[in-house]
Chain A
Amino acid sequence: MLAHAGERAVLLVAPTGAGKTLAGFLPSLIDLASGGREGLHTLYVSPLKALAADIRRNLLAPVEELGLPVRVEDRTGDTPQAARRRQRAEPPHILLTTPESLALLLSHEDAPHLFAGLQRVVVDEIHALAESKRGDQLFLLLSRLEALAPGFRRVGLSATVEDPEAMGRCLAPAPRDATIVRAPSGAEPDLSMMSRRPPPWAGGAALHAIPEVLDLVRAHRCTLVFHNTRAQAELFFHHLWMQNDEGLPIAIHHGSLAREQRQAVEAAMQRGELRAVVCTGTLDMGLDWGEVDLVIQMGAPKYVKRLVQRIGRANHRAGGRSRAVLVPAHRFEVIECVCAIEAAREGDLDGQTRGPGPLDVLCQHILIRACSGPFAADDLYAEVRTAGPYRDLPRADFDACLDFCATGGYALRAYDRWRRLVEHDGLWRLRDPRSARRIRMNLGTIEDKGTLKVRLRGSQAPLGEVEEYFASTLSPGDTFLIGGQIVRFESLREASVEVSRRRDREPRVPAFGGGKFPTSVALTRRILGLIEDRSAWVRLPRHTAEWLDLQARISRLPAWDRLLIETFPAEGRWHAALWGFAGWNAHQTLGLLLTRRMEAEGLDPLGFVATDHALLISGLRPVEAPARLLEPEGLRDGFEGWLAGNAVMKRTFRGVATIAGLIERQMPGLRRTGRQATFSSDILYDTLQRYDPGHLLLRVTREEAQRGLVDWGRIEEMLARVGPRIDHVRLTRVPPLAAPLLLERGRVPVEGRGRERLAEEAAARLLEEAGLDAL
């Protein structure tokens, strides 16, 4: 690391916790050891508040032992106001912070003074940041710092990633690239799949494997049990405890639990009191837990890169060999787990290239810049183009963002009387300096998913959070799982869900958003490669190889450059299974589009199920010509019309509009005065669609949804690789590969015309039952 201390940008790629964090600080400590320095020298940015605090403790030890004249402090959302004020007046030499707190620091007028002497910036877990808008924001903030302290050195610390050069381009001041330094990888990890018994045909939480998981926990010092979604983690943890007869100390940790509860688990872990933690992506990174000697991945990992990072959580101290066991949750995941293990062994990592920097984050950055003082548009444009993700930003896009920040960017220009930013003598500034406070309160790009706190009745301490939508489906008396305990819903109060500890019914599992990633393209390619290559089936457990063999004899095997469509009757319905291998999101979108076309053609579709590999559409009549339904032109036309009114778009819009500063996060005190004061972002979305369809935020929303939740890109990719090679197989009974699809949960009903009438009937019944039909 020291050899590269003088370079502008260095990306250090090393497995989790290989001591790279301290390596990142070494040049700073040497610089500062001679003493006599004033002001902020080094900034450390990490995605986790806890990490900032932890690094401070780790840094203070050598600083104090060696008696170095170095002040180290952290600054996050948890830092008290008084300490924050003091930090701005008398900055420490080394400041440890998060992207959001850095944004706040840079929004103040004294930022030029504070950062004038900055020498180094260390970005920890940069691979995690770079996957989200938090990274885009951070790289924009670095461009601001570059203007305040030209030439400072940048160090990025990254776990193993597939394309370090691309990440280096985010870190370095454009048009430069970063120097990539790769730490030698440790011992080959010990990877295996649990296959003593065949997994069930469908399902996601792998409850069948609980006895074996308990055996593994017993045989190890400390185990991390990773799940792909919070809901699955909750369900698994609940059932695990029912079978944990000897009371092994096992805890649960995920992003919807209350902070206090997560901290308690982390502390118990550090004291070595836990034998296992059931967790989700929240433990993919963060504190170094040396005691962990086994990682269990429940369900297919979906991304090889993520699997590799999770494996790195075990035994990484002192170059030990990491051990990981993969547990397929259902039969198809056996194939996926085998492929993921092979890819991990070969170091064949996958990833999604992120597009250019999103414009909603740029809008927020412009507002941050305006808060700190007047600026010239040309200067700011030149500055943001030094941020890696924005290096190719067209001037027109920048101007559209500036216009949005200044006037709202509406086609109706009567609004000129009320501006947020005004231009005087070539400099842009806030019209009303008081608006800086509101802008600061809404900084950051972490999505507010509209969650409600869950509290025990009569207690202030929250147990965790559930999504508003889930809360709205609860009736008093319903029970659900949170933090592994069954609670009974009592009432909705002051934006929190009141529960009691009663348990009289089978609990429901809350719907937590996020976390359901589609299988990566690279991994999908491997899966299809294995299915197509009969001689490779020896690498599969026998039960799975036999299943594929049966499929080949009864129907056909799916292939990379062909699209297999099977139509067959079952349970009094007609089904069409499309083996698109385009990922869960894309299949869901395809399902919505195809059922719409089927409805128009009078094929009476009833619903569909989307999985990562296939789409199963069920209806009252058989699909005779599936190829025609899939004809790209028609599909694309339908897509445009459908997209506008789609719920996914509205959800995406909410995130975009919040980040861009159109919607404010809850203002303090507002909650008290009643919820009728705040209205849903859906209303704004509908209004813009109707009166201003060309608006910037609608454009940003469309682009983002097509890449993300709607995943239109992968539909196009699938149609392109398949071309005209569509194999329609008509069967009289259920084909082997498709059989589990009939058992899948999460069927999406088709909302036909009769929906409102059905609701009317339900309402009339309710009125009659309540004896209110006369009112």
Chain B
Amino acid sequence: MNGTAHSLVLHRTHCLLLASGALFVPEADLLCVADLHLGRSERAARRGGPLLPPYETRATLERLEEAVALAKPATVVALGDSFDDDAAAHALDPGDRARLLALAEGRRWVWVAGNHDPGSMGAVPEWRGAGLVFRHEARAGAEAGEVSGHFHPKAACPGLRGRRPCFVTDGRRLILPAFGAYTGGLDTADPDLRALFADRAIAVLTGHRALAVPLPPARRCGAGG
């Protein structure tokens, strides 16, 4: 482990959880990112909300460009909520659109549909490859090898200030952190999120280095009460 990635076997597939928040699957030459939420500020403004700084698409694309330039994957899977809504996908700034197309050029690009962007860019509800199944939101009781996003998990580590976006996995299923610039987070202790994993599970924090920490076991009903 050189710090920029955490290496693990998910179900039967070797995976690299990158410090950038993207997943790389070497045997399939595949890069996967979740929850880009492009066009978030545009959507907020369109709906009469606050006028957020309109730079998140640029910031997210810059990070995505870096990740793609490093991995040079044959396939990219965007794991849903790539756009903050379907209209945001159409309202994408021409410059940003050109950057996105340039990124996709010469490689296969799979848009998985999310709850925010169910109908954009011919997105598919789920996609299978490299022995894994990619869908936006984890399903209770799903088969082993499920890769998903949606929750925007975040966790803390002793010695680091605040919480950071993180991967969560128990070796059967993997949830990715949100890759988008304007995304909040859900603590890994959240019962809905925690319940998706076995007792023995880890969070891999993103940032300069990928940092694995154990996930506290789920609180059992009645314990301590």
Which A residues are closer than 8 A to B by beta carbons? 407-408, 410, 412, 414-415, 418-420, 431-432, 434-435, 438, 457, 472, 476, 490-492, 500, 661-664, 674-680, 683-684, 687-688, 690-692, 695, 755-756, 758-760, 762-763, 766-767, 770-772, 775
State whether the Cβ of B123 lies closer than 8 Å to any Cβ in chain A: no
Name the residue on A nearest B170 (C-beta): A775
Residues of A within 8 A of B185 (CB): 675-676, 679
- Tell me whether B189 and A492 are in contact (CB under 8 A): yes
State whether the Cβ of B152 lies closer than 8 Å to any Cβ in chain A: yes
State whether the Cβ of B26 lies closer than 8 Å to any Cβ in chain A: no
Rounded to whole Å, the gap between the CB of B52 and the closest CB of chain A is 7
Q: Complex formed: what's the CA distance from A492 to B51 in Å?
A: 31
Counting chain A CB atoms within 10 Å of each CB, the highest count among B50, B59, B185 belongs to: B50
- By DSSP majority rule, is chain B's interface helix, strand, loop, or mixed? loop
Q: Complex formed: what's the CA distance from A258 to B160 in Å?
A: 31
Other A-B contacts than A775-B169, A775-B200, 6 sampled, CB-CB below 8 A, are: A432-B48, A472-B156, A684-B52, A691-B58, A759-B157, A767-B214
Name the residue on A nearest B205 (C-beta): A763
Q: Complex formed: what's the CA distance from A691 to B58 in Å?
A: 9
B114-138 interface (Cβ within 8 A of A): none
- Tell me whether A762 and B159 are in contact (CB under 8 A): yes
- Tell me whether A679 and B183 are in contact (CB under 8 A): yes
Rounded to whole Å, the gap between the CB of A155 and the closest CB of chain B is 37
- Tell me whether A759 and B158 are in contact (CB under 8 A): yes
Rounded to whole Å, the gap between the CB of A774 and the closest CB of chain B is 9
Q: Complex formed: what's the CA distance from A408 to B55 in Å?
A: 12
State whether the Cβ of B49 lies closer than 8 Å to any Cβ in chain A: yes
State whether the Cβ of B104 lies closer than 8 Å to any Cβ in chain A: no
Question: Which of A692, A763, A775 is the one whose CB lies under 8 Å from B171?
Answer: A775
Residues of B within 8 A of A410 (CB): 51, 53-55
State whether the Cβ of B93 lies closer than 8 Å to any Cβ in chain A: yes
- Tell me whether A691 and B55 are in contact (CB under 8 A): yes
State whether the Cβ of B146 lies closer than 8 Å to any Cβ in chain A: no
Q: Complex formed: what's the CA distance from A435 to B224 in Å?
A: 47
State whether the Cβ of B32 lies closer than 8 Å to any Cβ in chain A: no
Known: A415-B54, A687-B181, A775-B200. A438 touches B159 (CB 8 A): no
Name the residue on A nearest B48 (C-beta): A435
Question: Which of B54, B93, B181, B209 is the one whose CB lies under 8 Å from A756?
Answer: B209
- Tell me whether A662 and B52 are in contact (CB under 8 A): yes
Counting chain B CB atoms within 10 Å of each CB, the highest count among A418, A680, A767 belongs to: A418
Q: Complex formed: what's the CA distance from A664 to B46 in Å?
A: 15
Q: Complex formed: what's the CA distance from A678 to B186 in Å?
A: 10
Question: Which of B42, B48, B156 is the one whose CB lies under 8 Å from A438?
Answer: B48
Residues of B within 8 A of A677 (CB): 184
State whether the Cβ of B72 lies closer than 8 Å to any Cβ in chain A: no
- Tell me whether A766 and B224 are in contact (CB under 8 A): no
Q: Complex formed: what's the CA distance from A692 to B58 in Å?
A: 12
Name the residue on B nearest A433 (C-beta): B48
Which B residues are closer than 8 A to A by beta carbons? 3, 8, 42, 45-46, 48-56, 58-59, 93, 151-152, 156-160, 162-163, 169-171, 178, 181-187, 189, 200-202, 208-209, 211-214, 219, 224-225
- Tell me whether A414 and B214 are in contact (CB under 8 A): no
Q: Complex formed: what's the CA distance from A407 to B41 in Å?
A: 12
- Tell me whether B213 and A763 are in contact (CB under 8 A): yes
Name the residue on B nearest A661 (C-beta): B50
Q: Complex formed: what's the CA distance from A683 to B184 in Å?
A: 9
Rounded to whole Å, the gap between the CB of A464 and the closest CB of chain B is 22
Residues of A within 8 A of B186 (CB): 674-676
- Tell me whether B56 and A772 are in contact (CB under 8 A): no
Q: Complex formed: what's the CA distance from A775 to B54 in Å?
A: 40
- Tell me whether B151 and A415 are in contact (CB under 8 A): no
Residues of B within 8 A of A472 (CB): 156, 162-163
Q: Complex formed: what's the CA distance from A692 to B41 in Å?
A: 15
Residues of B within 8 A of A419 (CB): 45, 51
- Tell me whether B51 and A679 are in contact (CB under 8 A): no
- Tell me whether B181 and A766 are in contact (CB under 8 A): no
- Tell me whether B152 and A760 are in contact (CB under 8 A): no
Q: Complex formed: what's the CA distance from A683 to B158 in Å?
A: 22
- Tell me whether B51 and A420 are in contact (CB under 8 A): yes
Residues of A within 8 A of B51 (CB): 407-408, 410, 415, 418-420, 662
Residues of B within 8 A of A678 (CB): 184
- Tell me whether A412 and B55 are in contact (CB under 8 A): yes
Residues of B within 8 A of A664 (CB): 49-50
- Tell me whether B46 and A418 are in contact (CB under 8 A): yes
Rounded to whole Å, the gap between the CB of B1 and the closest CB of chain A is 10
- Tell me whether A762 and B158 are in contact (CB under 8 A): yes
Question: Which of A438, A490, A758, A775 is the one whose CB lies under 8 Å from B49?
Answer: A438
Rounded to whole Å, the gap between the CB of A489 and the closest CB of chain B is 11
Question: Which of A676, A690, A767 is the one whose CB lies under 8 Å from B202?
Answer: A767
Name the residue on A nearest B186 (C-beta): A676
Q: Complex formed: what's the CA distance from A373 to B178 in Å?
A: 41
Question: Which of A438, A687, A766, A775 is the one whose CB lies under 8 Å from B55?
Answer: A687
Residues of B within 8 A of A438 (CB): 48-49
- Tell me whether A687 and B53 are in contact (CB under 8 A): yes
Rounded to whole Å, the gap between the CB of A692 and the closest CB of chain B is 6
Residues of A within 8 A of B184 (CB): 675-680
Name the residue on A nearest B207 (C-beta): A756
- Tell me whether A412 and B211 are in contact (CB under 8 A): no
Known: A683-B181, A763-B213. A775 touches B50 (CB 8 A): no
Q: Complex formed: what's the CA distance from A418 to B52 in Å?
A: 11
Residues of B within 8 A of A775 (CB): 8, 169-171, 200-202, 212
